[in-house]
């Protein structure tokens, strides 16, 4: 059923498998502090920072956006060729020029007649992309569009930002066909407040510390005021679930506490005081359950999309959701969603946010440091990173194609008829790998073999295994393919993406849900 309002017809999240306990990093960085135990208590119980997700060597904002978007598209059941726009909000773009959006479009099999754009707007950019897609659909320009927030959050080593910054992505496929949640309204609030920034060519952001606390509270409340001014029929207490951007657990909770006061002095519109005031119980019941920052850390532009997806995994038809994203600089967007009946049949078709939260491997500080070193290292030093290589056999018939160029030794996915580099004479060869596979044999590359390139591994008909340790891999087990980052050619060259495999996770989550659901099982 087509609706007047634009809505979400599919949504999806992605969180990398590796996590580190925040206190392990804090202990190492702050070991000279005399008040270390009080400081740790503050991080854990005051800032509400417990774990953070860490992107592996094969992951970046593009690959994690791709899996989140795949979940959104599969949940909606829309043919990828019908999607006409991809807009991606991120502040950790793998290319300064070269979009995440077109990579996602190609990796998902979208066509060529597609609007693609990456949006900058710090952590607000994910939800901002949703407003742009909504407008394109409302104007009749497109029928379906993907709005994505994705980040592998960056921070200087030893900066308080490092304790929080995580990695993840959230994606929404918008349209008018039987949405599972409709966008009732949105409102924006912004001012030139550069509390946090990153200069061109500099890998990590800088910030004014506590300036962000003030800017965050002012702009989040500003967007809620703007929404209440537009919609006189609602009050903040009318919402069943509320999420604000989560740089920590502290910030959204502190903002909420500001709104419990008798006199709310921060308001631009004091006449809204009674409609914006909330109770302490409201914070406990409507806000705190969605603090996914406890599991992932601050996922920047993905923070609000992931928490909103978590709400959608649990909400009932008819309920109202308020999602307010915040980006330093400073911008906020308040989005009012109403959950529709279609959610009951559609959610559960892809892994939920909590499925990704619970798919986890805890790493220690040395593993975390090794990862940082490899990520910052040269092409040659990256090859020294431990790699697991496997032989596989096809499992259920679906296959994917990619290209190897023997001239420049590059892997191309999607496949190409000739090399991308005009002067490279190739020749190129076309290869096929199964979408689902069974593991035949597996080994970790030995010290002697470790300079074998990922190109050579694929050329030999073998594949790279990701997201698993050797002990978790047994012959015969089911694997699923995914597109990951295989190589990067120094700091200036191309980033090479291509097929890798991991133990079936998406496939397993789907089977499990089908068994648990009486409707699907009958
Ligand atoms: Zn070539």
Domain's final residue, options 362, 397, 425: 362
Distance 403 CA to ligand 1 centre (A): 10
Distance 93 CA to ligand 1 centre (A): 25
Distance 493 CA to ligand 1 centre (A): 13
Distance 416 CA to ligand 1 centre (A): 11
Q: Are residues 225 and 299 in the same domain?
A: yes
Other Cβ atoms within 10 Å of 56 Cβ, number: 22
Cα→Cα distances 43→134, 157, 160, 219, 486, Å: 38, 17, 10, 24, 36
Q: What is the pLDDT of residue 241?
A: 98
DSSP string for residues in 319-365: -EEEEEEEETEEEEEEEEEEE-TTHHHHTTSS--HHHHHHS-EE--H
Q: Are residues 407 and 344 in the same domain?
A: no
Q: Are residues 440 and 398 in the same domain?
A: yes
Q: What is the pLDDT of residue 517?
A: 57
Q: Are residues 67 and 149 in the same domain?
A: yes
Q: Are residues 267 and 416 in the same domain?
A: no
Does residue 427 sit within a domain?
A: yes
Claim: this prediction has a pTM higher than 0.85: yes
Does residue 520 sit within a domain?
A: no
Cα→Cα distances 258→200, 218, 506, Å: 36, 10, 41
Q: Are residues 329 and 396 in the same domain?
A: no
Domain with 400, as residue range(s), is 384-509
Cα→Cα distances 428→345, 410, 455, 498, Å: 45, 9, 12, 15
Q: Are residues 288 and 399 in the same domain?
A: no
pLDDT average per 10 residues of sequence, the chain (522 residues): 90 98 96 95 95 96 98 97 98 96 98 97 97 98 98 90 96 97 98 94 90 96 98 98 97 97 96 98 98 97 98 98 97 98 95 97 94 77 83 93 97 97 96 97 88 93 96 97 93 94 89 60 34
Does residue 367 sit within a domain?
A: no
Distance 31 CA to ligand 1 centre (A): 50
Q: Are residues 448 and 358 in the same domain?
A: no
Q: What is the pLDDT of residue 516?
A: 65
Distance 439 CA to ligand 1 centre (A): 30
Number of domains in the chain: 2
Q: Are residues 348 and 391 in the same domain?
A: no
**Is position 245 annotated as part of the catalytic site?**
yes
The residue from 245, 340, 405, 419 that is catalytic is 245
Q: What is the pLDDT of residue 372?
A: 87
**Is position 219 annotated as part of the catalytic site?**
no
Does residue 324 sit within a domain?
A: yes
DSSP string for residues in 229-263: HH-TT--GGG-SEEEE--SSSHHHHHHHHHTTSSS
The residue from 91, 134, 162, 225 that is catalytic is 91
Distance 402 CA to ligand 1 centre (A): 13
Does residue 413 sit within a domain?
A: yes
Domain's final residue, options 327, 362, 397: 362
Specify whether the CB–CB gap between 431 and 402 falls below 8 A: yes
The residue from 59, 123, 165, 225 that is catalytic is 123
Domain's final residue, options 293, 327, 362: 362
Specify whether the CB–CB gap between 152 and 104 falls below 8 A: no
Distance 426 CA to ligand 1 centre (A): 5
Q: What is the pLDDT of residue 520?
A: 42
**Is position 23 annotated as part of the catalytic site?**
no
Does residue 407 sit within a domain?
A: yes
Does residue 369 sit within a domain?
A: no
Q: Are residues 84 and 190 in the same domain?
A: yes
Give the sign of the dihedral formed by CA 175, CA 180, CA 184, CA 188.
Answer: negative
| CATH code, domain carrying 185 | 3.40.47.10
Does residue 150 sit within a domain?
A: yes
Q: Are residues 147 and 240 in the same domain?
A: yes
Q: Are residues 424 and 294 in the same domain?
A: no
């Amino acid at each position: 059923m087509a609706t007047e309002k634009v809505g979400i017809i599919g949504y999806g999240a992605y969180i990398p498998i590796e996590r580190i306990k925040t206190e392990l990093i804090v202990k190492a960085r702050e070991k000279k502090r005399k008040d270390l135990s009080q400081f740790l208590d503050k991080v854990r119980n005051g800032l509400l920072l417990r774990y953070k997700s860490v992107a592996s060597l094969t992951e970046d904002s593009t690959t994690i956006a791709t899996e989140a978007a795949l979940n959104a598209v599969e949940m909606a059941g829309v043919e990828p060729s019908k999607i006409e726009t991809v807009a991606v909000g991120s502040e950790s773009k793998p290319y300064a020029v070269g979009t995440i959006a077109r990579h996602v479009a190609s990796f998902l099999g979208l066509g060529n007649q597609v609007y693609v754009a990456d949006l900058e707007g710090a952590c607000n950019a994910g939800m901002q992309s949703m407003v742009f897609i909504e407008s394109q659909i409302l104007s009749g320009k497109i029928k379906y569009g993907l709005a994505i927030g994705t980040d592998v959050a960056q921070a200087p080593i030893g900066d308080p930002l490092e304790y929080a910054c995580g990695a993840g992505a959230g994606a929404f496929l918008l349209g008018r066909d039987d949405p599972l949640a409709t966008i009732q309204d949105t409102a924006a609030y912004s001012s030139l407040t550069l509390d946090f920034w990153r200069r061109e060519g500099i890998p990590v952001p800088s910030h004014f510390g506590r300036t962000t606390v003030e800017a965050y509270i002012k702009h989040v409340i500003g967007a809620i005021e703007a929404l209440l001014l537009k919609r006189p029929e609602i009050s903040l207490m009318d919402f069943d679930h509320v999420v604000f951007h989560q740089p920590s657990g502290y910030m959204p909770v502190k903002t909420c506490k500001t709104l419990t006061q008798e006199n709310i002095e921060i308001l631009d519109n004091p006449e809204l005081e009674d409609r914006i005031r909330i109770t302490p119980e409201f914070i406990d019941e409507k806000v705190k359950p969605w603090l996914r920052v406890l599991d992932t850390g601050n996922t920047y532009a993905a923070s609000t999309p992931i928490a909103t997806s978590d709400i959608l995994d649990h909400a009932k038809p008819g309920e109202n959701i308020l999602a307010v994203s915040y980006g330093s600089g400073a911008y906020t967007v308040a989005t009012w969603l109403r959950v529709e009946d279609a959610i009951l049949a559609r959610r559960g078709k892809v892994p939920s946010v909590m499925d990704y939260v619970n798919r986890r491997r805890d790493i220690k500080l040395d593993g975390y440091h090794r990862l940082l070193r490899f990520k910052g290292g040269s092409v040659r030093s990256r090859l020294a990173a431990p790699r697991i290589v496997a032989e596989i056999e096809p499992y259920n018939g679906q296959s994917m194609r990619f290209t190897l160029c023997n001239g420049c030794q590059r892997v191309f996915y999607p496949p190409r008829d000739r090399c991308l580099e005009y002067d490279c004479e190739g020749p190129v060869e076309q290869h096929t790998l199964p979408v689902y596979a069974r593991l035949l044999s597996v080994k970790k590359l030995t010290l002697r073999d470790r300079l074998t390139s990922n190109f050579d591994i694929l050329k030999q008909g073998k594949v790279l295994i990701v997201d698993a340790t050797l002990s978790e891999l047994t012959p015969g087990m089911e694997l699923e393919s995914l597109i990951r980052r295989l190589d990067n050619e120094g700091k200036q060259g191309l980033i090479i993406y291509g097929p890798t495999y991991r133990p079936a996770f998406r496939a397993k989550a789907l089977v499990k849900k089908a068994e648990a659901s009486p409707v699907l099982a009958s």
